[in-house]
Amino acid sequence: MSDSEDKERLAIDGGVPSRQRKDPPMYPGGMMIDAEEEQAVLETLRSKRLFRYYGPQDGPSQVALLEEEFGRMLGSPHALAVTSGTAALICALQGVGVGPGDEVIVPAYTWIASASAVAAVGGIPVLAEIDESLTLDPADVERKISPFTRAIMPVHMRGVPCRMDRLLEIGARRGLALVEDVAQADGASFGGQRLGTLGDAGCFSFQFNKILTAGEGGMLLTRSEAVYKRALMYHDVVGGLRNHFPTDEILWGINFRMAELQAAVMRVQLKRLEGLLATMRRSKQVLTSGLQKIARRKSISLQEIPDPAGDASIALIFFTRDAGTAGQIAAALQAENIGAGVLYRPDVTDYHIYAHWTPLMEQRPWTPNGGPWRWAQREIRYTRGDCPRSLDLLGRAIHLNVNPLLSDSDLEETLDGFEKVLGKLA
Ligand SMILES: *Cc1c(COP(=O)(O)O)cnc(C)c1O
């Protein structure tokens, strides 16, 4: 066999893989950790000031500085650092006043924490379909509104901004709060405004898998003084006292306070954000234009991006004609050393998809008498078939990380692999 024939042959059939190397690990901020983070941690440790509110050293706390810098960079007058993205969501829901029996509309495709946060404040997650953007379908959100609905939770999955113009319009018209889950979309925007600053509150995660990271951590942004005050009180057992609220306004809180060491790391990570976004956007542009050419000949379609300029560009997603084809294409791409995967399989548990959220599907309470569904005293039902359109889209979707460490030749070879695999299988 000639060399060129070998190049044509799919790697899954014994041909030469298009990509010479596999992707590096996909931890955008995590892989950037270097001497700067080390220095920041050492300085904080040596100061012995490890708690935001006091210590042997005076001066501003790392957490307070991070809040100021994060809020300024994203354009929010208030920022509250917390221990996780889930903690940020819980504080935001308390902040906007979601409580027992209140319904919150969440997308069928999101990390289960979005729904867990609603249940944690006694609220009831109501599932809505996603559309070809793989984010909330505004038309289905509208259909799912009931007299009990208090809030909508747009989740900017895989760095892609939701259709915020339409969701904000629905929220305003129906008198509902919008709590944005920005855990996967640090720095992304819609209509030139950063995500997390469009709704009533925006929630970020600094867990290790996210764009920026301190291992764990979270942040809440809001332009509302009232939401900020409630979140501030809730995130600290004595938040009301500590922040000098009038005694008759004080509510109890729990502890979600960020540690100084985490904030020291995050302040360095924040400086890396624009560079990471620029790199990933450039790479995604290259991959997208190559894929668009193939899409004109083959039966694939690209994910719809409600505001392409605002996309954080951490992922490239396209749809094939059916789930069987998606499985074949993903396997063939993997053999080419391209880190592709399908987004949903009924038989593979993945807590990003509502159908696999067994504790929610079965309305499992922590105690026999507990649980928001029982307290609600009305019939609430979940089934795996609740959002069929979402499952169909996710089942036909192929996902690739847009790794900031990809070189130009990695990108070229990825496009070669697309040509080869989609030419034969799409
Ligand atoms: C990671 C994530 C969360 C939760 O963040 P943690 O910091 O892990 O609590 C919430 N929503 C989405 C969409 C996420 O990806």
What pLDDT is stored for residue 244 in this prediction?
86
Angle of helix 62-74 relative to helix 260-297, nearest 10 degrees, comes to 30
Confidence (pLDDT) at 376: 84
Q: What is the distance in A from the centroid of ligand 1 to the CA of 184?
A: 8
- Contact 205 CB / ligand 1 (< 6 Å): yes
The helix (H) or strand (E) run that includes residue 301 is strand 301-302
How far is ligand 1, taken at its centre, from the CA of residue 396, in Å?
24
Residue nearest to atom 5 of ligand 1 (CA): 85
**Which residues neighbour 389 within 8 Å (Cβ) at sequence distance 6 or greater?**
129, 130, 131, 137
- Give the three-state DSSP class for 143: helix
Q: Report the relative pairing of strands 201-205 and 218-222 from DSSP bridges.
A: antiparallel
pLDDT along the chain (426 residues), means of 10: 71 96 97 98 96 91 98 98 98 97 97 98 97 98 97 98 98 98 98 98 98 98 97 94 89 96 98 98 98 95 98 98 97 98 97 97 90 87 97 98 98 97 95
Compute, in angstroms, the gap from residue 31 CA to the centroid of ligand 1.
19
* CA–centroid distance for 146 within its chain: 26
The candidate with the shortest Cα–Cα distance to 118, out of 62, 179, 28, is: 179
Which pLDDT belongs to residue 3?
Answer: 59
Gap between the Cα atoms of 317 and 375, Å rounded: 40
Q: Which of 153, 121, 94, 100 is nearest to 354 (CA)?
A: 153
**Separation of 29 CA from ligand 1 center, angstroms?**
16
d(CA 252, CA 279): 44
pLDDT at 8: 86
pLDDT value at position 58? 83
Burial 238-259 (b: 16+ CB within 10 A, else e): ebbeeeeeeeeeeeebeebbbb
Best probe residue, ligand 1, of 114, 179, 216, 399 (max atoms within 8 Å of C-beta): 114
207 lines ligand 1 (CB under 6 A): yes
Residue 178: which H helix or E strand, with range? strand 177-181
Q: What is the pLDDT at residue 241? A: 85
Ligand 1 close to Cβ of residue 110 (< 6 A): yes
CA distance 317 to 331: 15
| CA dihedral over 311, 315, 316, 321, signed as positive or negative | negative
* 3-class state of residue 263 by DSSP: helix
* SS3 call for 172: helix
Measured CA to CA, the distance from residue 88 to residue 71 in angstroms comes to: 14
Ligand 1, atom nearest to 184 Cα:
15
- How far is ligand 1, taken at its centre, from the CA of residue 38, in Å? 25
Atom of ligand 1 nearest to the CA of 217: 7
Q: Which atom of ligand 1 is nearest to the CA of 87?
A: 9
Cα 182 to averaged position of ligand 1 atoms, centre (Å): 8
Q: Give residue 5's pLDDT.
A: 63
- Helix or strand (DSSP H, E) at 315: strand 315-319
Count of beta carbons in the 10 Å neighbourhood of residue 7: 12
As a whole number of angstroms, the distance between CA 188 and CA 210 comes to: 13
Q: Is the CB of 84 under 6 A from ligand 1?
A: yes
Laid out side by side, the sheet with 315-319 consists of 301-302, 315-319, 397-401, 340-342
Beta-carbon-side half-sphere exposure of residue 116 (alpha carbons within 13 Å): 14
Q: How is the chain split among helix, strand and coil, in percent rounded to 5? A: 45, 15, 40
**DSSP count for the chain of H helices, then E strands:** 15, 13
pLDDT of residue 4: 63
**Cα gap 189→225, rounded to integer Å:** 22
Contact 124, 152 (CB under 8 A): no
For 153, how many CA atoms within 13 A lie in the half-sphere containing its CB? Answer: 36
Question: Does the beta carbon of 184 sit less than 6 angstroms from any atom of ligand 1?
Answer: yes
Which residue out of 182, 205, 258 has the highest number of ligand 1 atoms within 8 Å of its CB and is therefore the one to mutate?
205
Atom nearest to 156 CA in ligand 1: 13
Distance CA 18, CA 286 (A): 17
CA–CA dist 365, 399 (Å, integer): 34
Tell how far the Cα of 220 is from the centroid of ligand 1, in angstroms. 13
